Amino acid sequence: MNFRTDLAIERCEIFGEKAVSGVETEVFEAHKSKITRIEVTDCEGEKAIGKPIGRYVTVEVAPFAEHAQFIDDSLYAVTEEIRRIIPPTGSVLVAGLGNIRITPDALGPKCASMIFATRHIKGELLRATGLGNLRNVSAFATGVMGETGAEAGERIKGAVQVLMPDFVITVDALAARSAERLGRTVQMCNTGIVPGSGVGNSRQEISRRTIGVPVISIGVPTVVDAAAFVADCKGDESSISESGFGMMVTPKEVDLMIERASKLTALAINCALQPEISPEDMLILTA
Amino acid sequence: MNFRTDLAIERCEIFGEKAVSGVETEVFEAHKSKITRIEVTDCEGEKAIGKPIGRYVTVEVAPFAEHAQFIDDSLYAVTEEIRRIIPPTGSVLVAGLGNIRITPDALGPKCASMIFATRHIKGELLRATGLGNLRNVSAFATGVMGETGAEAGERIKGAVQVLMPDFVITVDALAARSAERLGRTVQMCNTGIVPGSGVGNSRQEISRRTIGVPVISIGVPTVVDAAAFVADCKGDESSISESGFGMMVTPKEVDLMIERASKLTALAINCALQPEISPEDMLILTA
Amino acid sequence: MNFRTDLAIERCEIFGEKAVSGVETEVFEAHKSKITRIEVTDCEGEKAIGKPIGRYVTVEVAPFAEHAQFIDDSLYAVTEEIRRIIPPTGSVLVAGLGNIRITPDALGPKCASMIFATRHIKGELLRATGLGNLRNVSAFATGVMGETGAEAGERIKGAVQVLMPDFVITVDALAARSAERLGRTVQMCNTGIVPGSGVGNSRQEISRRTIGVPVISIGVPTVVDAAAFVADCKGDESSISESGFGMMVTPKEVDLMIERASKLTALAINCALQPEISPEDMLILTA
Amino acid sequence: MNFRTDLAIERCEIFGEKAVSGVETEVFEAHKSKITRIEVTDCEGEKAIGKPIGRYVTVEVAPFAEHAQFIDDSLYAVTEEIRRIIPPTGSVLVAGLGNIRITPDALGPKCASMIFATRHIKGELLRATGLGNLRNVSAFATGVMGETGAEAGERIKGAVQVLMPDFVITVDALAARSAERLGRTVQMCNTGIVPGSGVGNSRQEISRRTIGVPVISIGVPTVVDAAAFVADCKGDESSISESGFGMMVTPKEVDLMIERASKLTALAINCALQPEISPEDMLILTA
């Protein structure tokens, strides 16, 4: 089955109101944002929505209004959910996936460049800055295979073997079914990622199984596959098996959307990782 | 009537095989490329296809294969048609329209940055380089109103008043109806441009009437309006009056497409303006 | 005489403690910053320091510490001095000079891209945003002659003829004599600018005389001319007449310096122009 | 002893005409370029010039004239020397060192982005392109520690463990003593690199010892340390022990220099690695 979406929440929607065996869903509101926690509990659930056993959380944030503040309810909601899904302690490697030269695919590398890397800040300096208790963080963008000759997964695996983080966070642009979700939904899960799976161009899986440490994946949908878009508009699901045309649908304001989503994601990750630093100070530290 | 395309050739296609009064069309092949010359000869033609009286030429170039040469049949075909549509002599200002930060809209500014500007190269230097007979060329990107506070047309008008070129060439990314045309069609016309008209976001007209000198407009389609895309897929023209969703459709390889199209367009303009310099030398001069 | 510095304050220093006829100097502290106001009052002063009759203000800001806040004493000091030197009302065009691809020369274009342009925001929208009383601002980067074929001055002149601002603000990277001033001094004057004069590569003057409206020039020194640097180290002024080697001296952290200086300058200009918007809100509006 | 230069040739020059024990030098001309091969043969030589036992080759290329061709004598000379110093067969990882946001430090990352990566091109595709016999190449930029939290050496080590290349090529911007060498000298050696050593900011050594496979290092000098520059101008070597001021000296045309040097280096590496592809075809493949 071809879902043409990376979002667990959209895959569940296919089943409508009816309960899906092996999939538990909880919806609530916090910080003025709608939060949906989906738990895939067994193989039946795995098969139904095509996602491995694990936890999938979606935060629907306020629309990125043109002049929105960065430190607002959305940030608090995303930060809180990230903090809940990552290990409470331990060092981390943040890897930005995707192609920085394709605007809707640039979320990962842009976000990686705004992560507050701390792994190299040692003893004296730490004390001098008064940041005694920083979590050990490293960060980089994986680049794309056409330019590096290596899969994103290989780049992460190599880094993990040398930097030896306790876990990995990947950040990637996702594909959604609904254009309304673009730039307005943050999904996070504890099962890793198969990059490109939402647009029919699957790459090597990046997960505990392939990398050796837990992988938390965070993403924001930035495109709708053109075939899925048409099928939705037609209201005819069967047509989705078509080619996809090699085309994608994005908002006309895609550059603004990516800019805001990268900043929100990076700031939320930074705040989730370093709870002792206030969002205001973090914004300054990484500006 | 809302055509949702900037291409004269696509607007003519609506009428199918039947002759349109006030519109003359000639199709032929040259340099292995299909060339269509459309002449809007009177008000009736103007009304039928929603384009002012004048000449519209479309060159359908070979698909931008991943490792295509830059100096090939496509280049010769485009260069030749540009040379036919511009005044044979006189100084020129090349203006790149569009937003460099939105990949599919970056054609204009990218192209402008590759134009071989010569206006500042004076006497001695000209002789020293052996380029005695250069046409006087200036070039810039107009920027976007949200950032400059000025319309592209105002930016061009101001430059024309000081630099006093004999004519202007604008370069802009266009909207097409057919996804197959994206990145593979070069349109040029001698009637100027209303930027954004193909995506329902019209800006100030840029033409002899508003600028005071002839305006040749060159463009390459890089997006399909999402509403038009759906209407086409549905085969239901009436649905096109819908919103357009603020969404656009682009190829997944949009960065590569823009890169190639910008280079082809810039090189063809440079070669059309300076016929004494070979394409090979021009490529080196502007690399 | 070759001063090899764009800073009026450094040209005065040559005369040491001794009074210079036609040059009045006032030094004081405000917002923890040292402020020097130099008034060139007649031709004698003009000749002595090689700067036209007019006002030159230097604000020496706190060193850009790595994690400095943007909204601090330095910002207040620079904003206040800009507000004093610009006309109290009227529309303005902000022009960023320099080459965005050469790090130490990128101050102008980077700053221009952060200016809050308002000229296109009209009636309804203004009321809707609650920003009823915005000063009319347009902004752009002039580009460099090697790429555009036009002088920065010509680009500004053309824009002024169409946009008709009441005055112009130019922003440019400057040359200093003392390496310690790099990135830490903001100079503003009401006499316009001769771009490149500090590094021996003078371009067309940009001033009321050439442009037709008052020109306020704001700049931050980012390089020291290599010949001046060596002469200073040798303590031998006579050697400065040498070539200059076509070389410049910059801090190793030049990217960080340019980033901070562009942001400070842009934010101070924005705040000086729109006093009804707080620095905090302005930061968000232009982020 | 502080040499303040990364170039073996400049360290030898300190000894003037006199023979240095443990250092053998051969100078000749090929492809209109001056080539110097220095062999450090024992510990005495190692101590004298502060470079480990091994081979250091310098190619002095023609000045990068503004409109130089890319495929010329300089390219042939550099390609040939690279081909002589790398293993004749085997897979390779090319790592670009340095900070892409500081113009004179951007050589490595810019070069890495132009390397023809082939590792991911498999069977069918290879045959289809007629490039049956490609050497296996991967490439990436290491990023800088302040942003990634990891040393360049750690990034390379991790990649080597997963991609398992037979050897590594590093590309980095170097420091020279003589401003005349900037952008005009290519140094390559078979002993790896200690990044930043030429500007007094040493990072982790990248060599067979630390990485586990042979490391060929290629570099072009792009800066002179300000302290060294002054000492040279003064003709007073003793003063070089001074601070260095945290300043560097670069040509005013630094962006053009970096652009040309990155392209030359990348094209030469690509041609040295894939001798069956002509320089002309390689230029097109990586354009």
Comparing A81-95, A188-202, B55-69, B112-126, the range with the smallest average pLDDT is B55-69
CA distance A166 to A119: 13
pLDDT score of D128 = 63
Please tell me the pTM assigned to this model: 0.88
Q: Would you say D126 and D280 are in contact if contact means Cβ atoms under 8 Å apart?
A: no
CB atoms within 10 A of CB D43: 11
Asked if D222 and D182 count as a contact pair (C-beta separation under 8 A), the reply is: yes
Distance from CA of D282 to the nearest CA of A (A): 15
Give the mean pLDDT of C4-28.
91
Position C57: which residue type? V
Which residue of chain D has the CA closest to A203?
A: D120
Cβ–Cβ of B146/C117 closer than 8 Å? yes
The residues facing C250 across adjacent strands are: D248
Closest Cβ–Cβ partner in D139, D149, D160 for A138: D149
Nearest chain D residue (CA) to B70: D284
Chains contacting chain D through 3 or more C-beta pairs under 8 A: A, B, C
Instruction: Give chain A positions within 8 Å (CB) of B248.
Output: 249-252
- B134 with B126: CB under 8 angstroms? yes
What does the DSSP assignment read for B127-153? HHHT-TT---EEEEE---HHHHSS-HH
How many other β-carbons are positioned within 10 Å of the β-carbon of residue B268?
Answer: 28
The pLDDT confidence band at residue C241, using thresholds 50, 70 and 90, is very low
The answer to whether residue B125 neighbours chain D at the CB level (below 8 Å) is no
Which among C117, C138, C143 is the nearest to B140, CB-wise?
C143
Q: How far is CA D173 from CA A267, D152, D176, D196, D287, in A?
A: 33, 14, 10, 9, 22
Of the candidates B218, B176, B180, the one whose C-alpha atom is nearest the C-alpha of residue B64 is: B180
B184, B250, B257: best mutation site toward chain A, by most A Cβ within 10 Å? B250
Helix (H) / strand (E) containing C109: helix C107-113
Quick one: angle between helices D73-85 and D254-273, nearest 10? 50
Task: With beta carbons less than 8 A apart as the criterion, state whether D137 and D92 touch.
Answer: yes
Which of chain D's residues have a Cβ under 8 Å away from the Cβ of B68?
Answer: 284
Closest CA–CA distance from residue A186 to any residue of chain D (Å): 24
pLDDT digits (tens, 9 = 90+) for D140-179: 999 999 899 999 999 999 999 999 999 999 999 999 998 8
Cβ atoms of C286 and C278 within 8 Å: the answer is: no
Q: How many CB atoms lie within 10 A of CB D123?
A: 7
pLDDT of residue A198: 64
Say whether C102 and D101 touch across the interface (CB within 8 A).
no
The confidence score (pLDDT) of residue B67 equals 44
Task: Compute the residue count for chain A.
Answer: 287
What is the model's pLDDT at position D67? 44
Is the pLDDT reported for residue D236 higher than 80?
no
The 10s digit of each residue's pLDDT in A107-145 is 999 999 999 999 998 766 666 666 667 899 999 999 999
Q: What is the mean pLDDT of residues C32-49?
A: 95
**8 Å CB contact between B230 and B244:** no
CA atoms within 13 A on the CB side of B176: 23
Q: Would the pLDDT of C141 be above 80?
A: yes
Q: pLDDT higher for B132 or A278? A: A278
Identify the residue whose tokens are 């400059």: B148
C-alpha to C-alpha distance for C268 and C116, rounded to whole angstroms: 11
Q: Please tell me if residue D250 touches chain C, with a CB cutoff of 8 Å.
A: yes
At residue B184's C-alpha, the angle toward residues B181 and B186, to 5°, is 100
Nearest alpha-carbon partner for C158 in B135, B164, B112: B164
Chain D residues with CB under 8 Å of B129 CB are: 67
Q: What is the dihedral of CA D99, D103, D109, D115, to 10 degrees?
A: -170
CB contact under 8 A, C245 and D179: yes
Share above pLDDT 70 across residues of chain B, in percent, rounded to a whole number: 88
Q: Do A162 and D163 touch (CB under 8 A)?
A: no
Q: Is A241's pLDDT higher than 70? A: no
Nearest residue to A33 via CA among A268, A286, A279, A273: A268
Asked if residues D153 and D181 have their Cβ atoms less than 8 Å apart, the reply is no
Q: Kindly determine whether residue D250 and residue C252, on different chains, have CB atoms separated by under 8 Å.
A: no
Asked if D249 has any chain C CB less than 8 Å from its own CB, the reply is: yes
Nearest CA to C219 among C197, C204, C239?
A: C197
Give start and end residues of each alpha helix (H) in A130-253.
Answer: 145-148, 152-163, 208-211, 226-234
pLDDT tops 50 at residue C67:
no
CA distance C175 to chain A (A): 27
Nearest C-alpha in B relative to D256: B287
Q: With an 8 Å Cβ cutoff, is B3 touching chain A? A: no
Q: What is the pLDDT of residue B270?
A: 97
Q: What are the structure tokens assigned to C271, written together? A: 């705040």
Region of B31 please: left (phi>0), alpha (psi -120 to 50) or beta: left
Q: A163 CB near a chain D CB, below 8 Å? A: yes
The C-alpha angle C230, C232, C236, rounded to 5 degrees, equals: 90
Chain-chain contact of B246 with A248 (C-beta, under 8 angstroms) = no
Q: What is the pLDDT along chain B (287 residues), one digit of tens a residue?
A: 567 899 999 999 988 888 899 999 999 999 999 999 999 999 999 999 999 999 999 999 877 654 456 678 899 999 999 999 999 999 999 999 999 988 899 999 999 999 999 999 876 666 666 666 789 999 999 999 989 999 999 999 999 999 999 999 999 999 999 888 999 999 999 999 998 776 667 788 999 999 999 999 999 999 998 888 887 777 666 655 445 567 899 988 888 889 889 999 999 999 999 998 989 888 877 86
**Given this model, what pLDDT does residue A284 score?**
76
Nearest-CA distance D160 → chain A (Å): 7
The 10 Å Cβ neighbour count of residue B205 is 18
Q: At what angle do helices A226-234 and B226-234 cross, to 10 degrees?
A: 60
Cβ neighbour number for residue B84 with a 10 Å cutoff: 13
User: C157-206: per-residue pLDDT in tens?
Assistant: 999 999 999 999 999 999 999 888 999 999 999 999 998 776 667 788 99
Residues of A in contact with D157 (CB under 8 A): 158, 162
Q: Is C155 on the interface with B (CB under 8 A)?
A: yes
The residue type found at B87 is: P
Beta pairing partners, A245: none
Cβ C70–A285 below 8 Å, yes or no? no
Q: Interior CA angle at A23 toward A96 and A208, to 5°?
A: 35
Q: Give the one of D67, D129, D285 whose C-beta lies nearest to B285's C-beta.
A: D67
Rounded distance, CA D94 to CA D117, Å? 9
- Contacts for B103 with CB less than 8 Å, ≥ 6 apart: A101, A102, A103, A254, B250, B254, B255, B258
Closest CA to D274 of D283, D285, D265, D282: D282
Nearest CA in chain C to B286: C147
Q: DSSP secondary structure string, chain B?
A: -------HHHHHHTTTTS--TTEEEEEEEETTEEEEEEEE-SHHHHHHHT--SEEEEEEEPPP--TT--SSSHHHHHHHHHHHHHS-SSS-EEEEE-S-TTSGGG-HHHHHHHTS---TT--HHHHHHHT-TT---EEEEE---HHHHSS-HHHHHHHHHHHH--SEEEEEEEEEES-GGGTTTEEEEESS-B-TTGGGT-----BSHHHHSS-EEEEEEEEEEEHHHHHHHHHT-GGGGGS--TTEEEEETTHHHHHHHHHHHHHHHHHHHH-TTS-HHHHHHHT-
Tell me the pLDDT band of A256, cut-offs 50, 70 and 90: confident
Give the per-residue pLDDT at A4.
Answer: 82
3-state secondary structure of D247: strand
Q: SS3 of C248, please?
A: strand
Q: What is the pLDDT of residues A155-175, one digit of tens each?
A: 999 999 999 999 999 999 999
Task: Measure CA A8 to chain center.
Answer: 12
CB-based contact, C122 to chain B, within 8 Å: no
C-beta separation of A56 from A80 below 8 A: no
Query: Which residues of chain A does C70 touch, with a Cβ-Cβ cutoff of 8 Å?
Result: 284, 287
Mean pLDDT for the stretch of residues D82-97: 97
Q: What is the DSSP letter of C206?
A: B
CB of A250 within 8 Å of a chain B CB? The answer is yes
Measured distance CA(A195)–CA(A144) in Å, rounded: 11
Please indicate if any CB of chain D lies within 8 Å of the CB of B164.
no
Q: Which residues pair with A138 in a beta bridge?
A: A93
**Which tens digits make up the pLDDT trace of D23-54?**
999 999 999 999 999 999 999 999 999 999 99
Residues in chain C: 287
Q: Which of residues 173-212 of C touch A (CB under 8 A)?
A: none
Count of pairs with CB atoms under 8 A, one residue in C, one in D? 73
Among A67, A277, A286, the residue to mutate for chain C (most C Cβ within 10 A):
A67
In angstroms, what CA-CA distances link B249 with A247, B198, B252?
6, 13, 9
Residues in chain B with CB shorter than 8 Å from the CB of C163 are 149-150, 154, 158
Q: Is C284 on the interface with A (CB under 8 A)?
A: yes
Q: Determine phi and psi for B15, rounding to 5 degrees.
A: -85, 0
Q: Name the residue of chain D whose CA is nearest to C236's CA.
A: D234
Mean pLDDT value across chain C: 88
Question: Is A123 part of the contact surface with chain D (CB cutoff 8 Å)?
Answer: no
Q: Are D197 and D208 in contact (CB under 8 A)?
A: no
- Whole-angstrom Cα distance, residue B84 to residue B37? 11
Among chain B residues, CA nearest to D69: B284
In chain C, the largest separation of any two C-alpha atoms, in whole Å, equals 63
Structural tokens at position B160: 């024309």
Identify the three-state secondary structure at position A86.
Answer: coil
How close A230 comes to chain C (CA, Å)? 34
Minimal-distance CA residue of chain D relative to A148: D139
Contact between residue C37 and residue C25 where contact means Cβ atoms under 8 Å apart: yes
- How confident is the prediction for chain A on average, in pLDDT? 88
Please judge whether A70 and C284 are an interchain contact, meaning their C-beta atoms are less than 8 angstroms apart: yes
- Do the beta carbons of residue B244 and residue B200 sit within 8 Å? yes
Q: Which of C84-98, C257-271, D194-208 comes out lowest in average pLDDT?
A: D194-208
D103, C99: Cβ pair inside 8 Å?
A: no
Q: At what angle do helices A254-273 and A73-85 cross, to 10 degrees?
A: 50
**ipTM > 0.85 (yes/no):** yes
Q: Does B129 contact chain D (CB < 8 Å)?
A: yes
What share of chain D has pLDDT > 70, as a percent?
88
